[in-house]
Structure 1
Amino acid sequence: MDELSIRIKIADREYPMKVKAEDEARVRSAGRQINERIKSYRERFGIDDKQDLLAMVAFDCLVDKMELDEKQYDTDESVLEKINHLNSIINQAL
């Protein structure tokens, strides 16, 4: 398992971390996306306080994750219903 030592800059502060080589691109992308959201909030709302900006980004990210989790649950339920229906059809045919 190859681990890389990298530094990610978020809100003008650098954070050293160790990541698996296969996760490096994802971690760097996450850092860029956080910084983009910070910039967006700063421009949209005229907020300069980094703590407020980071809190807003954290909140926004959690809402996005909750929405994706709900969609995934709905998809899982739909797939399960279809599998049960197909099993029923197969059992009737036997």
Structure 2
Amino acid sequence: MDDLSIKIKIADREYPMKVKLTDEERVRLASKIINEKLKTYREQFGIDDKQDLLAMVAFDCLVDKMAAEETYQVIDQTVFEKVSQINHLVSQSIL
């Protein structure tokens, strides 16, 4: 198999996990981004409670994900409309 046992550290706690070799870089980067956001919130708001910090980071990540999904929906709709227009043009030219 191509599973890899790794440990990631989030908020000063280590978490062992098994990940696919192809996902290792993404998982480590996600851990790094989470820790950077934790540090930013700690410094920006003076919050030391890790549960509060993790909740804020989770909320921030979900808002970002929702915004990205909305963007993808707009892109998907635009692509669908363009493909439909092209199909219509091709159909007319064949007739």
Q: With structure 2 as the length reference, what TM-score do the two structures score?
A: 0.97
The code of the aligned residue for 2:76 comes to D
Give the aligned CA root-mean-square deviation in angstroms. 0.6
Aligned to 1:67: 67
Paired residues in the alignment total 94
- Residue segments in structure 1 that go unaligned for 5+ positions in a row: none
Aligned to 2:2: 2
SS in 1 for 2:47: coil
1:22 equivalent to 2:53? Answer no
Structure 2: distance between partners of 1:83 and 1:10: 44
SS in 1 for 2:15: strand
Structure 2: distance between partners of 1:55 and 1:31: 15
Question: Percent of aligned positions with the same letter in both sequences?
Answer: 64
1:41 equivalent to 2:41? Answer yes
Q: What do residues 40-75 of structure 1 show as CA deviations (whole Å, max 9, x unaligned)?
A: 000000000000000000000000000000000100
Aligned to 1:52: 52
- Structure 1 stretches (4+) deviating beyond 6 angstroms? none
- Residue segments in structure 2 that go unaligned for 5+ positions in a row: none
